[in-house]
Amino acid sequence: MLDERKIVVLQTLIEQYIATGEPVSSAAIAQHSGLGVSTATIRNDLTSLEAEGYLLQPHTSAGRLPTAKGYRYYVDHSEPGHLRRGTQNRINTFFSSVQLELSRLLKATTELVADETTYPAVVLGPGLGGDKIRGAHVVKTGTRTMLVVLVTDNGQVSQDIVSVGDDLPEATVTEVERLIVDLLVGHSIPEAAQRFAEQSPGVTPATRAILERVFEVIVRSDQSTRQIYIGGTARMTSVWEDFSAVNRVLEV
């Protein structure tokens, strides 16, 4: 548990690092924090915050940088701001009228945030995770490949190519789709994988091997793939005039 002064020191350091892209010294924190304490006191707090994993020091003569844990604390404990009425109205109008599937909605949201903040915006899309599967389709794309398309109950779409060792007759693809629909629809991917492991549908060894391959691919894809949406990138053009600023941005 951080005491009040350490919280202010951490917040000031992170805000200064965001503003400058440079390691932050105790003198800079003393100047900008408004704490009214000596740099020696702030150095002691920085040492403590570093020991607790909130900060790191690139080398002994440098200032400190925030760690992922430090950023997480800063975000979790930041006071929510107050939007101007016009901004709030535009946001309310956007979300009350928009009718887009999830990926397009998230892309449009990044552009909205970029427009309202005048900064580039980044949104990390969700994985399928615990979402229930609303629809599942299997399409043969080659002699030994097929496309598995999953649609969640919140409109997210996942597409994965599954390769198998032997040729795929159309009848086998149809049977695999029927079994996938039965196992997945109404369940999350982890739930469906568990059901498949426990139920062992009465199918031929060849079809079961294909199902095992399908679940291997979609489970791995669900665990590793999350779409990143970026908006307002044109607002970065002024930065490219100063390559030292570019380096600082990339390091941050």
Tell me, yes or no, whether 64 and 137 share the same domain. Answer: no
Query: Same domain, yes or no, for 62 and 89?
Result: no
Residues 107 and 26 in one domain: no
Hey, what are 110's tokens? 């990044």
Exposed/middle/buried for residue 15 (C-beta within 10 Å: 0-12, 13-18, 19+): middle
Dist CA 176 CA 140 (whole Å): 11
The CA-based angle 91-94-99, given to 5 degrees, is 150
Confidence at 35, pLDDT banded by 50, 70, 90: very high
Residues pairing with 121 in the sheet:
231
Q: Which of 52-61, 175-184, 239-248 has the lowest mean pLDDT?
A: 239-248
pLDDT, residue 51, reads: 94
Q: Flag whether pLDDT at 118 surpasses 90.
A: no
Rounded Cα distance, 16 and 50, in Å: 17
- Over residues 108-133, the mean pLDDT reads 83
pLDDT tens, position by position, 68-94? 999 999 999 887 778 888 888 888 998
**Residue-number span of the structural domain to which 41 is assigned:** 4-77
pLDDT confidence of residue 116: 87
How many Cβ atoms sit within 10 Å of the Cβ of residue 42? 24
Q: Which amino acid is at 191?
A: E
Q: In this structure, are 155 and 120 located in the same domain?
A: no
Q: Which helix (H) or strand (E) holds 206?
A: helix 205-224
Are residues 111 and 148 located together in one domain of the fold? no
| Cα–Cα distance for residue pair 251/199, rounded to 1 Å | 50
Are residues 234 and 219 part of one domain? no
Q: HSE, CB side, 13 Å, CA atoms: give it for residue 202.
A: 0
Structure tokens given for 97: 């009228």
Kind and range of the H or E element at 248? helix 243-251
Number of domains in the chain: 3
DSSP 128: S
Most confident of 38-47, 180-189, 218-227: 38-47
Residues 138, 22 within the same domain: no
* Residues 118 and 59 occupy one common structural domain: no
State the pLDDT confidence band at 47, using cuts at 50, 70 and 90: very high
**Residue 108 and residue 100 in contact, taking contact as beta carbons nearer than 8 Å:** yes
Q: Count of CB atoms within 10 A of residue 217's CB?
A: 15
Query: Between residues 238 and 88, which one has the greater pLDDT?
Result: 88
User: How are beta strands 228-231 and 157-163 bridged, if at all?
Assistant: unpaired
- Say what the pLDDT of residue 206 is: 85
CATH number at residue 173: 3.30.390.60
DSSP state letters, 63-83:
-BEE-HHHHHHHHHHPPP---
The identity of residue 173, as a single letter, is V
Handedness of CA 228, 229, 234, 239 (dihedral sign): negative
| Distance, CA of 107 to CA of 69 (rounded, Å) | 28
Q: What is the pLDDT of residues 205-235, one digit of tens each?
A: 888 889 889 888 888 877 666 678 888 887 7
Domain shared by 191 and 151, yes or no: yes
Do the Cβ atoms of 217 and 225 come closer than 8 Å?
Answer: no
DSSP class of residue 131? P
Element (H, E) at 157: strand 157-163
Query: Which has the minimum average pLDDT: 15-29, 56-70, 137-151, 226-240?
Result: 226-240
